[in-house]
Amino acid sequence: MPPSPLAERFSLAGRGALITGSSRGIGRAIADLFADAGAIVGINARHAEACEEAAAEINAAGGKAVAVAGHVGSAEGCEGVVRAFLEQAGRIDVLVNNAGTNPQFGPLLDADEGAINRIWEVNVLGPVRMTRYAVSAWMRDNGGSVINMASVAGIKPEALTGAYNASKAALISVTRTLSRELGTSRIRVNAIAPGLVETRLAKVLVETPQIHDHIVGQTALGRHADPSEIAGAALFLASDASSFVTGSVLTVDGGWTV
């Protein structure tokens, strides 16, 4: 029986999807869902063992995944990750710039210069560089979808995460700028802005009752999210279901920004 029109719209069959920071958390949830949708997924993290373990689990479940370890906080690292994925998958139709970091909590003006630089390298320059290399190596001639993992922190900033807020606001601007620049090459560029999600990066926010209750208390759904709830938005933006969507920021925050 042929796939239904609905299934075809959300299918990623035969496509190559590289997801940075995907050995765990939101990135891993996206990788699992993309593999279920038929994509060859690239599992990326700094440590090769974590990538290989996640890829093996996806392959054992019937999906297709390859490990592409590398640090996206440097130009050389980004170029190497893109090259390694293309060598194994043969194509890169979807790029999810999910890797992020936040080594500094507190107001922006109190942030350590080194911490600000690390945040900027990974959260802003990482997506710019990854997109540059993916476009140059494949998407310029073949089209594709780029998805940047922003945050509601870039839309409605909290004082606790000043430097992180600024980096995510910058990433939203990067998303809109690139959507303008790459549209004629049939490359769509969008962002997802999650609210509070239970991940390692947000561990302090989730596990500190005062902070967690403050955020959840302002969220319409009255709870934080699971990584799998962000993955569905990524599948929409990666697939043909969003073929006329570019330059958009999709908030998945349970109503926190309402």
104 compared with 100, residue with greater pLDDT = 100
C-alpha to C-alpha distance for 28 and 19, rounded to whole angstroms: 8
Domain ranges (residues) in the chain? 5-252
pLDDT of residue 6: 85
Alpha helices in the chain (DSSP H): 5-9, 25-36, 48-60, 75-89, 113-120, 126-134, 140-142, 162-182, 203-207, 209-217, 228-238
What is the CB-side half-sphere exposure of residue 246 using CA atoms within 13 A?
20
Catalytic residues, by residue number, are 164
pLDDT of residue 204: 66
Q: Which of 244, 256, 230 is nearest to 157 (CA)?
A: 256
Give residue-wise pLDDT tens across range 54-67. Answer: 999 999 999 999 99
pLDDT of residue 4: 80
Give residue-wise pLDDT tens across range 174-230. Answer: 999 999 999 999 999 999 999 988 777 666 666 676 667 777 888 989 888 889 999
16 and 85 in contact (C-beta within 8 Å)? yes
**How confident is the model over 5-13, as a mean pLDDT?**
93
* The domain defined by 5-252 carries CATH number 3.30.450.40: no
Give residue-wise pLDDT tens across range 12-45. Answer: 999 999 999 999 999 999 999 999 999 999 999 9
> For the whole model, what pTM was predicted?
0.95
Given a cut of 90, is residue 163 above it in pLDDT? yes
Question: Which residue type sits at 179?
Answer: S
pLDDT of residue 245: 99
Q: How many CB atoms lie within 10 A of CB 144?
A: 25
C-alpha to C-alpha distance for 93 and 145, rounded to whole angstroms: 6
Report the chain's C-alpha Rg in angstroms: 17
What is the CB-side half-sphere exposure of residue 33 using CA atoms within 13 A?
22
pLDDT of residue 118: 96
pLDDT of residue 210: 67
pLDDT of residue 117: 96
